[in-house]
């Protein structure tokens, strides 16, 4: 009876790890496609001249909106027509987004590798511990830089429309400032928890090696 119960639990665990691996594989593929799209956009930006884009924007009927923290601002047609396309700003935006996606990509790859080890029955190992540590370091880096990343992206999105000067002209806003510093304490706490789990796995691997040596 006990053996049958262990067999069922083992099959459920294998099914769980297989399903999670499939999900993370799909995420990896989507992120690779996203980075490939970023590369295509970057090449397009380098090829097409600013005058061509600005001329097209002046003639075309384009709508635009800015999304931030659940807030959506639909820009007027006149504001969009007055938009000035800057190649360097778009390049900065694409590179910033690419760096952000790359950090997330490294985390997802590490998680999938851990799931791959778990499906093989490798749980408390030095390899898993190192992978979990890498995830923790990525999360900690994000906690220290995510506010700067997001603020910089918003800044680059507002520059072509000159929204700062437009908003300041209203009677409700007297000034706009960007804050590129700050710590995301939730992410920092998560990173420290993940790092602690990595250390637990490393100690578990040490105990497993000691047991194997004495068995």
- H/E element, 60: none
Radius of gyration of the CA atoms of the chain, in A: 24
Task: Say if CB 158 and CB 164 are below 8 A apart.
Answer: yes
User: What pLDDT is attached to residue 136?
Assistant: 94
pLDDT digits (tens, 9 = 90+) for 31-50: 999 999 989 988 888 888 87
pLDDT digits (tens, 9 = 90+) for 42-101: 888 888 887 777 777 666 666 666 666 666 767 666 666 667 777 888 888 888 888 889
pLDDT digits (tens, 9 = 90+) for 168-213: 666 666 667 777 778 889 999 999 999 999 998 888 888 777 766 7
User: What pLDDT is attached to residue 190?
Assistant: 94
pLDDT digits (tens, 9 = 90+) for 132-176: 999 999 999 999 988 888 888 877 777 766 766 666 666 666 667
User: What pLDDT is attached to residue 8?
Assistant: 46
Backbone angles phi, psi at 65, to 5 degrees: -145, 155
Q: Hey, how many other C-beta atoms are within 10 angstroms of the C-beta on 131?
A: 21
3-class SS of residue 66: strand
The pTM assigned to this predicted structure is 0.76
Task: Say if CB 104 and CB 31 are below 8 A apart.
Answer: yes
User: What pLDDT is attached to residue 138?
Assistant: 93
pLDDT of 1 over the 60 cut: no
pLDDT above 90: percentage of residues in the chain: 27
User: What pLDDT is attached to residue 53?
Assistant: 72
């Amino acid at each position: 009876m006990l053996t049958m119960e262990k067999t069922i639990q083992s099959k459920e665990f294998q099914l769980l790890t297989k399903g999670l691996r499939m999900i993370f594989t799909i995420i990896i593929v989507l992120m690779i496609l996203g980075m490939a799209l970023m590369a295509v956009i970057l090449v397009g930006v380098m090829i097409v001249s600013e005058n061509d884009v600005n001329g097209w924007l002046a003639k075309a009927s384009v709508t635009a909106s800015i999304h931030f923290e659940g807030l959506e601002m639909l820009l007027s047609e006149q504001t969009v027509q007055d938009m000035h396309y800057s190649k360097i700003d778009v390049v900065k935006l694409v590179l910033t987004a690419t760096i952000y996606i790359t950090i997330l990509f490294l985390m997802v790859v590490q998680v999938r590798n851990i799931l791959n080890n778990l499906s093989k029955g490798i749980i408390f190992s030095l390899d898993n511990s190192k992978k979990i540590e890498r995830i923790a370091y990525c999360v900690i880096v994000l906690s220290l830089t995510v506010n700067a990343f997001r603020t910089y992206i918003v800044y680059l999105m507002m520059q072509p429309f000159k929204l700062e000067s437009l908003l300041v002209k209203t009677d409700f806003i007297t000034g706009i400032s960007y804050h590129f510093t700050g710590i995301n304490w939730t992410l920092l706490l998560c990173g420290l928890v993940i790092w602690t789990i990595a250390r637990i796995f490393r100690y578990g691997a040490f105990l497993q090696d000691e047991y194997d040596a004495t068995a």
